[in-house]
Amino acid sequence: MAPMPHTRRTLLGGSLAVPLGLALSAAPAPPAMASARRAPGFVRAGRPAAPWGTQSGEVTPHSATVWTRSDRPARMYVDTSPSESFRYGVRRHDGPYLGPATDHTGTVTLRDLPPGRQIHYRVVLTDPDDPRRSGEPVRGAFRTAPVSRRHDVRFLWSGDLAGQGWGINPELGGYRVFGEMRLRDPDFFLFSGDTIYADGPIKAAVPLPDGRVWQNVTTEEKSRVAQTLDDFRGNFRYNLLDGNLRDFYAQVPVLAQWDDHEVRNNWYPGQLLDDPRYTVKDVDTLAARARRAFGEYFPVTDLRGGRAEGRMHRVLRHGPLLDVFVLDMRTHRDANSPGRRTDDPVGILGAEQLAWLKRELSRSRATWKVIAADMPLGIVVPDGAVNFEAVAQGDPGAPLGRELQIAELLRHIKHQQITGTLWLTADVHYTAAHHYAPERAAFSDFAPFWEFVSGPVGAGGFPAGRLDATFGPRTEFVQSAPVANMSPAENPPYYGEVEINGGSGDLTVRLRREGGGVLFTKSLQPGRVGQP
């Protein structure tokens, strides 16, 4: 499927059709975009407005969720139509009251949609006391998932945005990579964690090694580490100040998961902080606030209002060709440790999530089963001098610590003859393709599989990490920064693309770089996914 720069989506109107370099100023923007220093507050006179744009998500063959944020109390409605001009087939979907309890955010679930079709929508906000007073509609579009195997599927993935102090730089056009990704016309975007950096303050200016200065848009909430609920909300609002990202979300549904920086670097449940920047030392308190803000700022219905029963881990069933299993490798993990235990029932997923994943993989009838992990399997990711943050702990022998849980999962996939699995991840701030094979592994009771790594989409670049040989990974491709924390100006963002051919069922993975095209390509055939 070739890119289609003049499709139904790029012609939605307004800023979606402008050149990428103008995207920062083309869309109606929150006032912060007028300054690279501080973001003034909104003027509340007039009608309700949604300067943070709109998003869609949870797209199935017959339903989808639409999100927005108002600049004041408002009632939310969503109109849908098969026509971009809304000249026929218009349906109105009633939405919630947007008030302070949810930071004026809200979602509407659209139901009874036709499968495999382009849906145009417009979000309408009205005065809650006078429904005749409505603001300017905010438009978006998405494709519902197909029910036929004949439909091609394309999606993108990446992670890590506004990290290491590299935020929205107006002099470089802001988050330009999202404009480039939008032109790929994907069915959805898998945001593979670190969607914000709640623990990473943004300074107005950052010197670069060559003498240039990186200029950041700044806000009050991004001037410090996030501790209050309003701090976490402000971190999500910060990224939406960028016109490229707002245009991308209006066109491309987002499937978001979290990792550590939505809360704090390398966090785990029960952790007590020894960090002078924090007055709140209990990570569980911070995580609850971050989780609530995450549910308010992404179209994830199960997390709205900070509901304790809501789950981050979930399945997106995108027609007969694809199921995406979104993991949560934060909420249920045990404490970071040296990872040498011979018995680790909690692991990185927790017992309940592991059982859920095994059950849902066994039930899946999709040709391809993508396991969306917010952390890699075989890359050694240290946490301090002796502890480890991800699965691998550097010991190339039999599984220990969190590796035991992954070994159980891989054994289940093999013995249940579950085909078409592959792993996608981000987190490590470089891009790579890893092939795992039992003949190279200390633990061999599994079928060969692939893991693809991409990112950051807008953060510091880092050198490649070393691999742990327990599951027999081999690097087939890697590209990374030569030194730690290279800016996006010196180390442009990475993102990945997955395309499934509706005729043959073949799946092709492409590792891409902003402005640089395709770096690596791997095509896989149904039933032969583990072949090198």
Q: Tens digits of per-residue pLDDT, 333-356?
A: 999 999 999 999 999 999 999 999
Alpha carbon 256 to its chain centroid, in Å, reads 4
Q: How confident is the model at residue 30 (pLDDT cuts 50, 70, 90)?
A: low
* Spatial separation of the C-alpha atoms in residues 24 and 213, rounded to whole Å: 19
Quick check: 340 and 323 in contact, CB under 8 A?
no
Q: Which residue has the tokens 């509340």?
A: 44
Quick check: 189 and 255 in contact, CB under 8 A?
yes
- Range scoring the smallest mean pLDDT among 37-46, 386-395, 509-518: 37-46
pLDDT tops 50 at residue 31: no
Q: How confident is the model at residue 29 (pLDDT cuts 50, 70, 90)?
A: low
Classified as helix, coil or strand, 126 is strand
As given in the structure block, the two tokens for residue 305 are 């209002």
User: Please, what are the domains in the chain?
Assistant: 14-143 (2.60.40.380)
3-state secondary structure 169-184: CHHHCCCHHHHHHHCC
State residue 530's pLDDT score.
Answer: 65
* Spatial separation of the C-alpha atoms in residues 319 and 255, rounded to whole Å: 15
pLDDT tops 90 at residue 53: yes
* Spatial separation of the C-alpha atoms in residues 423 and 324, rounded to whole Å: 10
State residue 244's pLDDT score.
Answer: 98
State residue 309's pLDDT score.
Answer: 57
End-to-end CA distance of the chain: 24
As given in the structure block, the two tokens for residue 78 are 């969503």
pLDDT tops 50 at residue 35: no
203-261 confidence digits (pLDDT tens): 999 999 999 999 999 999 999 999 999 999 999 999 999 999 999 999 999 999 999 99
State residue 61's pLDDT score.
Answer: 96
DSSP type of residue 102: G
Report field, pTM of the whole predicted structure over 0.85: yes
Average pLDDT on 411-424 reads 97
* Spatial separation of the C-alpha atoms in residues 402 and 405, rounded to whole Å: 6
DSSP 316-344: EE-STTEEEEE--SSTT----B----S--
pLDDT tops 80 at residue 42: no
State residue 302's pLDDT score.
Answer: 81
Q: How confident is the model at residue 43 (pLDDT cuts 50, 70, 90)?
A: very low
Q: How many CB atoms lie within 10 A of CB 44?
A: 10
Write out the E strands in 171-303.
Answer: 188-192, 205-207, 213-215, 254-257
Q: How large a percentage of the chain has pLDDT more than 90?
A: 87
Quick check: 119 and 143 in contact, CB under 8 A?
yes
Quick check: 388 and 337 in contact, CB under 8 A?
yes
Q: How large a percentage of the chain has pLDDT more than 70?
A: 90
Quick check: 53 and 68 in contact, CB under 8 A?
yes
State residue 305's pLDDT score.
Answer: 60
252-297 confidence digits (pLDDT tens): 999 999 999 999 999 999 999 999 999 999 999 999 999 999 999 9
Average pLDDT on 99-118 reads 97
Q: How confident is the model at residue 152 (pLDDT cuts 50, 70, 90)?
A: very high
Average pLDDT on 114-132 reads 95
The values of phi and psi at residue 172, to 5°, are -105, 10
State residue 508's pLDDT score.
Answer: 98
State residue 164's pLDDT score.
Answer: 97
Average pLDDT on 308-313 reads 76
State residue 21's pLDDT score.
Answer: 35
Which residue, 510, 507, 514, 475, is CA-closest to 493?
514
* Spatial separation of the C-alpha atoms in residues 171 and 239, rounded to whole Å: 16
Question: How far are the Cα atoms of 39, 458, 480 from residue 33, in angstroms, in the given order?
Answer: 7, 18, 31
Residue 107 is inside which H or E element, if any? strand 105-110
* Spatial separation of the C-alpha atoms in residues 183 and 208, rounded to whole Å: 30
* Spatial separation of the C-alpha atoms in residues 513 and 366, rounded to whole Å: 29
Q: Is the dihedral of CA 502, 506, 509, 510 positive or negative?
A: negative
